[in-house]
């Protein structure tokens, strides 16, 4: 599931650092 | 759990809510009821005022964004932003959209507007994710289950968060700087015209429950912690977390609304309506994807909506 949801996964893993959406 | 613990949990979630969602219900209702004095929102009610609205936003935002490289894209997205509250001058990437005021066929306008809404929604998903991570115990759940809870929860949360921005006549967008009328949204070409109407119908009824921001925070956490999402690996700890938040919400409602005896039950019933709205919304987006040649769905939203319902 994590592999199919890379961005969500990234948002969950990264703390408050801005993610380039 | 002790009442004191439940109240501490309510306070904690309220603080996380304020931290992640700056356009609170209190602020939105003040704007909608005209209590903000000179700062009345700009009203968009037709194509002409839509163009003017963009100018209005550009004028206001340039001083805030002098340092930024992506002026035009930011402003376009600021114009349509605000569904659910947003950081002023948010720094996150957008779809490379062109400005709404650029010349182009009318048909493209709805698509551009729609793309701006998508960018704002993607940013809101990030805010919701941060809020979810602040729920005690959430980050300790199986990572696959965290993904599942967000995948199924975020659109429901987005729709709940629109409610405070809406009244029967329209909705605040762009961090509360703009009020877009319901009639204007209904006048867009199909199927865009059908997108917001069910949310207005839901919001008008939901707003009658008169929740405050602290109760909204607890309700959002309850939605996120739904143990019946498809594909969850370990339901038990999720249900335990949700139960504690539900106790806290029930207590908060009793304290804040002593004469609304069935409020807790009425609120829980809204979760059923919400699932139907999300299902219809996702089907509408899937229809758009098929029928609109120029339609591109934001990668994060695509990820969420794929195999959803």
- Contact at 8 Å (CB) between A10 and B305? no
Give the helix/strand (H/E) hosting B42: strand B42-44
Res B60: pLDDT: 63
Can you tell me whether residue B140 is helix, strand or coil? helix
Mind listing the pLDDT tens digit for each residue in B87-105? Answer: 333 322 222 233 344 445 5
**Strand duo B178-181 + B170-173: pairing:** antiparallel
Q: Which two tokens stand for residue B115?
A: 């793309």
In this structure, how many other beta carbons lie within 10 angstroms of the beta carbon of residue B269?
11
Chain B interface includes A12 (CB < 8 A): yes
Of A9, A12, A20, the CB nearest to B93: A20
Subunit contact B130:A16, Cβ cutoff 8 A: yes
Chain B interface includes A14 (CB < 8 A): no
Mind listing the pLDDT tens digit for each residue in B70-83? Answer: 333 443 343 444 33
On whether ipTM exceeds 0.90, the answer is no
Q: What's the maximum distance between 2 C-alpha atoms anywhere in chain A?
A: 23
Higher pLDDT, B290 or B268: B268
Residues 6+ apart with CB under 8 A from B301: B118, B121, B122, B125, B285
Subunit contact B303:A5, Cβ cutoff 8 A: yes
Mind listing the pLDDT tens digit for each residue in B195-228? Answer: 999 999 999 999 999 999 999 999 999 999 999 9
Q: Searching chain A, which residue's CA lies closest to the CA of residue B307?
A: A4
């Amino acid at each position: 599931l994590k592999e199919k949801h890379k961005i969500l996964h990234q948002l969950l893993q990264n703390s408050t650092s801005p993610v380039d959406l | 759990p002790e009442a004191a613990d439940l109240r501490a949990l309510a306070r904690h979630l309220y603080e996380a809510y304020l931290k992640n969602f700056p356009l609170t219900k209190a602020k939105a209702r003040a704007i909608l009821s005209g209590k903000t004095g000179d700062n009345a929102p700009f009203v968009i009610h037709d194509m002409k005022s839509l163009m003017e609205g963009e100018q209005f936003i550009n004028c206001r935002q340039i001083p805030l964004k002098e340092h930024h490289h992506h002026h035009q894209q930011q402003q376009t997205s600021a114009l349509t932003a605000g569904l659910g509250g947003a950081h002023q001058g948010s720094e996150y990437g957008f779809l490379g959209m062109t400005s709404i005021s650029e010349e182009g066929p009318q048909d493209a306008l709805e698509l551009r507007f729609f793309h701006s809404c998508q960018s704002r929604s993607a940013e809101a998903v990030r805010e919701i994710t941060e809020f979810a991570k602040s729920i005690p115990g959430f980050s300790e759940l199986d990572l696959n289950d965290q993904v599942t809870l967000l995948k199924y929860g975020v659109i429901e949360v987005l729709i709940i968060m629109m409610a405070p921005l809406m009244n029967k006549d329209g909705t605040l967008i762009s961090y509360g700087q703009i009020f877009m009328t319901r009639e204007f949204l209904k006048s867009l070409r199909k199927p865009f015209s059908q997108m917001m109407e069910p949310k207005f119908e839901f919001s008008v009824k939901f707003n009658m429950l008169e929740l405050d921001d602290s109760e909204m925070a607890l309700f959002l956490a309850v939605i996120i912690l739904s143990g019946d999402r498809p594909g969850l690996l370990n339901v038990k700890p999720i249900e335990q977390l949700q139960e504690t938040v539900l106790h806290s919400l029930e207590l908060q409602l009793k304290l804040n609304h002593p004469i609304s005896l069935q409020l807790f039950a009425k609120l829980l019933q809204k979760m059923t309506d919400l699932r139907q709205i999300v299902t219809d919304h996702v089907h509408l987006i899937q229809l758009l994807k098929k029928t609109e040649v120029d339609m591109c769905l934001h990668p994060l939203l695509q990820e969420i909506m794929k195999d959803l319902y």
